Structure 1
């Protein structure tokens, strides 16, 4: 079954991400497994026009010990054909979600609406300028953040902020976003 078209309105996207239909009651390793396998199955069922090999990654926002590193709960490729660069995209999209607390697609749409253009180079430049971004390792800011669809916040009812991040990398960026949004809604509706 084909994915719906992802919204390009940042206010609509953020309202969806924070809605009860997108908020878990708990989030454990078992929940991550359920969500991760549901995402993999959903991607594998996409029509050829939307399907490509993709990497799925789900990580807690911080390690259980409170350390600064992430704790990955689920990671899987959907098919042969993912490349090491997918890992880099996962990290950069995750960083965006953790820093701004919204999906990487919503962040992109916020920047586009502020820049008045959707040309990739204009959007990226506007993103760097607006948020005064500098890379921690002396490289380009693109080394740290990505405002491309696929990074999505996990929220729990009654808990402030983002507790985990799910990322899909490999499909078209709007499809990376939409498959996560639709699958989270389905998993929550099933009582997980």
Structure 2
């Protein structure tokens, strides 16, 4: 897929993966689902679900390093700043030949890399973020999308990003 195709698909994901309602119980269920998927697959990832600025779920699975904690924070900051996935933000910056610093942000606090996805509620918008760190960025992104699609009973095959060319 090209950057333009990825950006278009991610826009579809962000529209389709919206909840009617989302509370602390739903946040915990989302985090637990990601933990179960990762454990079944033997993935060493960090998982974070944050509502507004409140951490609700965090798990560090075997293989995670302290660096993943920082990656989670920086990717989540991208979502909470722009209300779109960190991967979409990174692809857009790359397409435009820009960096987060060009937008007046610090790379120490913002990571335009895949893995954090907005938690959207219909009629409200972005209320938080679900973040995965530990895999290549496209895989982090796809895992977050997979969990959201499963929770919302959406067809993952029509939402998942295709493997890169």
Which residue among 45, 58, 67 is the counterpart of 2:49?
58
Which residue among 53, 59, 70 is the counterpart of 1:76?
59
Q: Are residues 1:128 and 2:111 paired?
A: no
Secondary structure of the 1:178 match is helix
Consecutive unaligned residues of structure 1, counting only runs of 5 or more, are 1-6, 62-69, 116-125, 134-140
Is the 1:8–1:109 Cα contact (8 Å) retained in structure 2? Answer: no
Matches of 1:83 and 1:158, distance apart in 2: 38
Distance apart, 1:25 and its partner CA: 1.2
Count of aligned residue pairs for this structure pair: 152
Secondary structure of the 1:75 match is strand
**Larger % of helix: which?**
2
Matches of 2:100 and 2:69, distance apart in 1: 22
TM-score (norm 2): 0.84
Go from structure 1 to structure 2 and tell me whether the alpha carbon gap of 1:8 and 1:175 turns closer, same or farther (over 3 Å shift).
farther
Aligned to 1:168: 132
Go from structure 1 to structure 2 and tell me whether the alpha carbon gap of 1:23 and 1:8 turns closer, same or farther (over 3 Å shift).
same
Secondary structure of the 1:13 match is helix
Q: Are residues 1:104 and 2:86 paired?
A: yes
Consecutive unaligned residues of structure 2, counting only runs of 5 or more, are 155-165
Whose Rg is larger?
Answer: 1
Secondary structure of the 1:81 match is coil
Aligned to 2:113: 148
Question: Which 4+ residue blocks in structure 1 deviate beyond 4 angstroms?
Answer: none
Distance apart, 1:15 and its partner CA: 2.4
Aligned to 2:6: 9
Secondary structure of the 1:182 match is helix
Aligned to 1:18: 15
Is the 2:100–2:110 Cα contact (8 Å) retained in structure 1? Answer: no
TM-superposition CA deviations, 1:90-119 (whole Å, max 9, x none): 11001100111110011111112222xxxx
